[in-house]
Structures are given as structure tokens and as C-alpha cells.
Structure 1
């Protein structure tokens, strides 16, 4: 295993891994004849990756990119994303991954907020970038690639010179955008040290999640614009001589074929994966795999044991977030299957469970989970901060602990169990959706006088988005609620990534507020009721379809 310390950079680790594991596969794409790239599949060894990264480093350096620059990567979940990232990080450039489901206004926000110096995009994404730039204040150059990293066309020259010096462990490596409770997404700045520490931590979990050097092939269906695939699993594989099998997206009908054909020994999952796989017809492939364990979060308790019995592999539940992806996981036998347990604190990741007054609660009582590295170095290996938002960063760290917003319980043995989220965040199929962002958009539509957005349960996707709307009497005169819902949903689908658009719609004469006009969402529906069952609820969930660009 490649060793790291507090001074190791991503380039250092990659160089050592290449020397140690040269002929082994670092990245793989499973075969899929219906996919537009690598339909027959593809394997990239450490040595081949090093050669391609070296070529990219020369091209970026020749164009003037280096320490202090930021490059947006719109390369989907193709292996080229990681090759460009390794090259850019080698030069001290920070990468800003682009969610392909962003609509123009969302991408324009990312471009403006991160002030990227270049957008590297697939040719098929050029129209989406151009549409975003039409709305953006900042106007970086665009360069398109046909997804092969050995092209010779010169890159657009950097508009400003790189900073003097070489990248260090605390140099920003990535800015990942995560939904914030105040509306617009926040940019989490992640350093070289953060990313390597995440992989090193995973590699050392042991128990049922033990990583065998040079033997693992980790199948990850999660996107490379998220922290799970691009950082947690990738650097674990890089540091241990393993291979990341990166598929384009989760597809239940292809899952077991890809897992078997790619010779996966580990799979990553989200809670939404489990019911979708259980709903698939039985297949010989579902027991023909060589998977040692699944690693993920959010499996419904009643499905946990059922999944393991049918498919013959343990699901090891974990907790992590973009701000800290050195995960806590329930990886030691006996596991607490079907209880929402996700592990115990360990040296290097301390936990306390606190009430709203900041007092630690007794075992078995619910409270917000606060985390830190240690009392002496609380922020070590956490994110560097929210981009250009020191107030939000310090608020999240008040009292010397990072406030996760997750409500948990802890038993006498230290086992933590997830209960709920305190933050005003909706969790749909692994995506975090800020209710405030959807509310802010709805309030710009002439039909809307007032809006409140919240989560409702969903049997497959964990949660779905519900919008409670008070229509403007003049603008919506004689408009049926079904027509209003379709009009507003179409508006949301044009302006937001499809998963953020409300699927359920409720129209009210008024929304309860406090004396200071703060919306009281808990009073909109009767306590203990399921809003989806109420007469007058408009269900447009089926109209939400995956969109790109």
C-alpha cells in the first residue's frame, strides 16, 4: 500500500502508485454496446494512465495553467475525468466537476461562483455550456475533447499567470458543490490532503471492509461529480493497487452483468439501488458474482437482510458527507443489520451527539451528530471551507465541532444509528436538494404568491419533492390546479436539474407563518398524516424524467 503523510500531494501519491503497480489496471469501463463511448469496455493500467496524464500535464502547462487556476470538467463519468483531474492537480490546478443534469442557470451559477479559468467539455456538452455562458457574468474559454486524452490541439491560453510555487498538501484539488440550506449550492473546497486521507482511511477500515492490496476491483455506479466515486473509492484504489470500475450510471437491468463481467470484488451503492435490484427478475448472474461486500448508505431496514440473503453479499452501511468523507461504517461483525446502524467513532474521527442547546444527550436519546478529527486538531483532513463563504464555514464549525445536521442516536456500545436530517434538505435517490433553492425559483413565477417545499416519503427514491403553493389570485384566475401544477413543474424542469423539480403539488389558500412571517412547514399538513393521500394532491412524479445538458 502506498503510504502518505501530511505533506503528500496527489502527484506524489500517483507517481508512487505508478511505480508500484504499473501493469495493473487503475480504471476500467464495463462493456455496454448501447453506450456512445467504449462500447466494448476498456481497461487502463497505472502505467498507461501515467503516460496519458503526462501528456495532459504538458498540454495544460504549455497553455499557462498552473497553481491557483480552476478548470471545470464536464466529462461526465468517463475515465477521462480522472485522467484530466490527475493532470490538473499535478500542476496545482483545482478542478470543478460539472453535474450533467444542471440546467443553464445552475451551470451559470457554478461558472460565476467558482470563477473557473477554463471549461473542459465533451463536444456533446458544448451547447449546454454555451447556453450557460449566455446567462453567466464570467466568460471563461471552452475547450472540447472527443474524450481521448492524447489529442494535440492547443488549449486556450490561461488569461492570468499561474501563481509561483508548487502544489502542497493543503492546495485545493477540487471544489464540489453541495446543496445548502439557504438556497444556492455551496462550493466545498477539498485539498490534496483531504482527498488522499479519505482514500487512506477507507483502505485501513479492515474487518468486513478489508482492502486487499492489488486484488480489488471496485464497481462504482455513482457519478464522478460526487465525492463518493471521484475521491472516496478512487483514492482507496489508487493507494492499494486496485481498479475502479466506473460505469456511466446506475442501471438495474445492467447491474449484475456489469458486476460479473468486470470481475468486481466490491460494489458501492445508495439506498435507492436496493429496492430497484430487488424488483428485478431473478437471474443466474445475481449469484455468480465475486463481490465480497457492498459499501454504501441508506438501505431501508426492512430490505437489508432480504437483499443480503437473495444476492449473497453483505451491505456495509456507512456515513459520510462532502465536508468529511473519511467515513464511519459498520464493518465489524456482528453488524447491526436492519437497524440504520452505521458504525462507531474511531481515533481520527470523534463524534458527540448534542441537543439544540449544545449539551450532550444521554445514550439512546436523539441529537445532532457533531464530528471532528480530535480536540487538538479538530479540522484536520476535513474540507478546507466553503468557497468565499467564511461565515458559513465558521457557523458549521461553531464550538470546535463540525455540525452535520444529521439526527442520530448512540447506544452504550457507541454504535450510531441514523434517524433524520435537521437541515432543510430533501434526499432523493442519493441527491441532496435544498428546499430553499426550489422555493426561490418558484417565487419568480408569475403564478406563485407563496411557496413552501418539503420532502415526502418515496418507496423507491427515499424521498420526493413536494411543493405547497399559494397561487396569485389575479394571475391564476380560473386556472385548474392540475394545469397550474403542470405549468409550474415544466418551469422547474427547464430551470433546474430534473430531480429537484417537485413531483407532488398542493395548492392552498394560505401557508401558516409566524409573527415574523417565517413559514411554518410543520403546520401545513395535519400531524402524523401522509400528505400524498390527501384529496386534492396533484401527483406529477411520473413526469420527472432524467435529462442531460
Structure 2
């Protein structure tokens, strides 16, 4: 992989503090399986349920690593995995790490446009995916990804195969001997996760064994006081939250439940029947569970801690959870730096509801102005972070120059304030990103798709607040004179282009002009403010002016 940053002073500090070590993920997963052999991972699914103890996942992963080696995959090769939260996906992750491959998790709902880009940009030699899941025919989608010159092996979960491909079951049936442990360094890149950025193309975020283990160890340490806790996560395996739970389970030994799709009634039943005590969630998931308790009148007495992240969290949601007897708390992080801040469940509810907590573990953060100078408490500025969990650079080295300050501090692009107690509160975003239900969406990418529609002259895309998903996509467009455009037209257009469904605008604002700076840039802050304000009903409604259309999904 390329684009690595060698933050030597910081790395030396993490090693001296014992936060980076010579241990690799191979070592950690092997040792975790030995310490917690019968701890269970449960994969809840309406169509593909499974469960296995950690020792079984370890053994099957080791044998699958041997089968991968028979395919010719070697240390440093890239393998992409677009699999929902299934047992097979966990085994593939384990196998890839065991062989020293670079793992590229891909969100399972991504369409051929995103998947094709990721495969080409990462140089993946192998791809693992289902043949079908729910309404998605992955083989049909794969036929539309375009040429991927480095891709040699397409491995499917199911009975159907891609042309020249092989099934995962056939590889497991080889019962190959586990390969010899690869000669790895803990600072080797072992995972690249693609996240939407301010440009139309996803950014490849590179993590090493050390950066991921620093995060997983800190999370496992937080679990130490609750040995019987049962964790549930709805975050997909292609998301950093899903990746972390897969590793965290081996370090902590806690029972872990992963769901492949969100069905509130089903998840609520799982929580009640299995005694789930800890939940990782976005606002959408928590809102859904609160509605279930309200509508059914059936409590969830085991549920205690709810770790909220992945999207802006309304304070009212934390207060509602408190009223239901659940201790919800906000956190702040990203694919680049997974958990920067977090509140403690012991904090007063006002702290948990109205701030994003204090620096987590050994992480550090500052609030700076546009010139990188520190700002006093209470003054909004850009959040910059540093810590042992911080990624080591993008695969596109050109992105790194603007992403870091001197000393290796990461420029998050988010605007926040710090109070005198060190509590962070995110108040706005410099980066042009929409976070819908925990998934990053590039406004630039959506704008590019909009401008391919023949009726659209100009387009600006921004986030609109939403109580369930945190944010949704709103498109402000100027249309060709005499042309008409509806939200339904946009839905059809995005389906035809082939981008993931969640990037489709859910609100359309037809305007006659866009607010701009003196330099001609669209003032996105003005558009976001317009969405936060109550919409007045114009006197000439229906006779021109601004037209607003919404869709709920």
C-alpha cells in the first residue's frame, strides 16, 4: 500500500508507553481464542443465522488461510470482503489476518460503482461476497463493476459462482493445513477501510496491527468491569464499528451478537431473550428501540449501556433513554481515528446528553483556528487529534498533506468546542460529508451524480437533520428552464447510475439560485441553516419560487 506516514516521535511515545507493542493481530486473535475458547459469537439473521465459539472461528480461519495460500495469496496481498454480519465473514477476516493479507472490508450495501472503485484502487487480488442476500444479487452487481486488472479470485458464499470463481464452501472443504505464521511487523498495514470523503472518490484509510490493537485493547479494558456482559452491534462488517467488535470479542471474551439487517421487532426480541446489556448504536437504532418499548409496553430490563456514535446524537435521545432506564452516552470518532472521545456511563446525564465526552484512553485533542493555533475553551474551531489508534495515512498519498498538521495531528474537518473540563462538543462540520445512519456520504459524489441528470443545471448537496438517521441527504438544484423535476425522478436516476441506495437524495429543494461567497463557492452553511429553520409557506405557493419535496425511507 502507499501513502504511509511515519509519525516517528509519536510512534516512539506509544511504544515507550506500552500502547504500541510487537504483538500483531495474528498473535492477539490466537491468544484470545486460547483464553476464551468457548465465548460465543452469535450472528443473528432472518435468512442466515449462525453461531460459533471463538476457538471454532480461530480453527476454521486458520484452515481457510491455508486454502487462500493454495490460491497463491501471499503476505501483503489485498483481499476485499463484502459480506454482511455473517459467520463466514468473521472466518474470512480471521483467515486474511492469519495469512498476513491486507483486509479491505466493504460495506455490504455498496453498489457496483463503489465496489469497482475500491477493487481497482486497492489492487485487490481476491474478493469474497455472497451470491445473494435478501434482494441483492451480488453476482449480477459484480458483472457491472468493470475491469479490475489485479483481481484474480472471486469467492462466493452460497452455491452460485462468478465465472472462473470458487465457493467459500469448496475452499473450506479442502481442509488445508494452516500456513506457517507470516513474518509480520506490528507496524505493517493490515486493513484498509474506504470511507466517503470531500471528493467524489472514497478514501482508503490505512490501519496497522498496532493502531487497531490499541483501539481494541482500550475497548476491552472498558469491558473489564462487566465479565458477564452481552454485546450487540448492528454496525455492518464493512464499517469500522463492525470490524472493532469482531476483534474486541477475542480480547475481552464477552458474548457478542451481530445482526445483518435491522428489524426492530426482531432485535428487541433478541435483546430480551439473550439478556443483552451493551448496545453499540446510531440514533436510528436507539430511537427504534425506544419506540418498541413505548408501543409494546414490554421493557428490556437487561439493557444498560448504549454507546452512541456514527452520527450526530440529539440530546433529547439520551434523555429519553435515561427515562427508559438505559444509560446512553455519546462518543466521537471516525474511520481514521475510531474513538477519540467518549462519556462514561457514570457521568451525569447532562454530560452524556450534551457533550461527546472526554479524550478516550491515551488520545489527545485540540481545538485550533485555520492557521493551526490553539483556541481557548468554549471557542469553536477545528478538532485535531492524536493517539495510538490514529491511522497511518490514506492510500492516496496526495490526501495526506492536507490531512495532518506538524507533529502528526489529524485534521478531522469537524468543528467543536472544549469546555474547562475537557468535554468535547461537535457543533458543525468543515468537511462536506453527510453521515446517514453511521454511513459517510460524500456531498461531492452525490452532486456529480445529480449533474448527470439532463434537467439539472446546478446542484448543491448537504445534510438535513433527522431524528432517526442523524442526517439525510438533501439536494438543492437549479433546473433547466421549462423542465420539471421530482424526487421520484431522482430516485430513478440514481438507480440507473448504480450508486448505493442510501446516497439518493431524500429531500429535493428546487431553487432559482444558490448562495455563494465572493469567490463563487456555495455557502453550504447557509443551506444547512435553511434546513434547520422552519420552512415558511410562500404566498405564491405552487406558482414558482422554491419547491420542496421529501421522501421517507
The normalised TM-score by structure 2 is 0.84
The residue aligned with 2:355 is: 341
Instruction: Indicate conservation of the 8 Å contact 2:464/2:532, yes or no.
Output: no
How many Å separate the matches in 2 of 1:79 and 1:122?
A: 12
Distance 1:372 1:333, change over 3 A: same
- SS of 2:292's equivalent in the other structure is coil
1:504 aligned residue (507, 515, 518): 507
The residue aligned with 2:548 is: 538
The structural deviation recorded for 1:537 is 2.8
Does structure 1 residue 480 correspond to structure 2 residue 480? no
5 Å-filtered alignment, 1:149-548, equals 151-152=170-171, 166-205=183-222, 210-213=224-227, 215-231=228-244, 233-280=245-292, 282=294, 286-297=298-309, 298-310=312-324, 312-331=325-344, 333-337=346-350, 339-345=353-359, 348-373=362-387, 380-387=388-395, 389-400=396-407, 401-473=409-481, 477=482, 479-482=483-486, 485-494=487-496, 495-514=498-517, 516-522=519-525, 530=533, 535=541, 536-542=546-552, 544=553
- SS of 2:356's equivalent in the other structure is strand
Distance 1:347 1:528, change over 3 A: closer
Instruction: Indicate conservation of the 8 Å contact 1:55/1:150, yes or no.
Output: no
The structural deviation recorded for 1:16 is 1.0
5 Å-filtered alignment, 1:12-161, equals 12-25=27-40, 27-30=41-44, 35-38=46-49, 42-124=50-132, 125-134=137-146, 139-146=151-158, 151-152=170-171
Instruction: Indicate conservation of the 8 Å contact 1:504/1:532, yes or no.
Output: no
Distance 1:91 1:344, change over 3 A: same
- SS of 1:325's equivalent in the other structure is coil
How many Å separate the matches in 1 of 2:340 and 2:526?
A: 36
- Matched residues, number: 508
How many Å separate the matches in 2 of 1:450 and 1:89?
A: 46
Instruction: Indicate conservation of the 8 Å contact 2:198/2:431, yes or no.
Output: yes
Distance 1:343 1:126, change over 3 A: closer
Distance 1:526 1:313, change over 3 A: closer
How many Å separate the matches in 1 of 2:534 and 2:479?
A: 19
Instruction: Indicate conservation of the 8 Å contact 1:455/1:463, yes or no.
Output: yes
**CA deviations over 1:429-478 (Å, ceiling 9, x no partner):** 222211111111222222222111112222322222111112234xxx3x
How many Å separate the matches in 2 of 1:385 and 1:457?
A: 31
Instruction: Indicate conservation of the 8 Å contact 2:517/2:523, yes or no.
Output: yes
**CA deviations over 1:18-38 (Å, ceiling 9, x no partner):** 22111222x1123x5xx2212
**CA deviations over 1:469-517 (Å, ceiling 9, x no partner):** 12234xxx3x3343xx432332123332111111111223333444554
How many Å separate the matches in 1 of 2:186 and 2:525?
A: 45
Instruction: Indicate conservation of the 8 Å contact 1:96/1:174, yes or no.
Output: yes
The structural deviation recorded for 1:521 is 3.5
Instruction: Indicate conservation of the 8 Å contact 2:278/2:305, yes or no.
Output: yes
Instruction: Indicate conservation of the 8 Å contact 2:99/2:182, yes or no.
Output: no
Instruction: Indicate conservation of the 8 Å contact 2:21/2:210, yes or no.
Output: yes
Instruction: Indicate conservation of the 8 Å contact 1:272/1:430, yes or no.
Output: no
The residue aligned with 1:6 is: 21
Give ranges in structure 1 of 5+ residues lacking alignment: 156-161, 374-379, 545-549
Aligned-residue RMSD, C-alpha:
2.8
How many Å separate the matches in 2 of 1:9 and 1:302?
A: 41
Instruction: Indicate conservation of the 8 Å contact 2:195/2:440, yes or no.
Output: yes
How many Å separate the matches in 1 of 2:533 and 2:300?
A: 41
- SS of 2:446's equivalent in the other structure is helix
- SS of 1:449's equivalent in the other structure is strand
The structural deviation recorded for 1:79 is 2.0
**CA deviations over 1:294-325 (Å, ceiling 9, x no partner):** 11224311221222222x22112211111111
Instruction: Indicate conservation of the 8 Å contact 1:179/1:186, yes or no.
Output: yes
The structural deviation recorded for 1:58 is 1.3
The residue aligned with 1:376 is: none
The residue aligned with 1:547 is: none
**CA deviations over 1:60-116 (Å, ceiling 9, x no partner):** 111111211111112211121121111111111112122222222222111111121
The normalised TM-score by structure 1 is 0.85
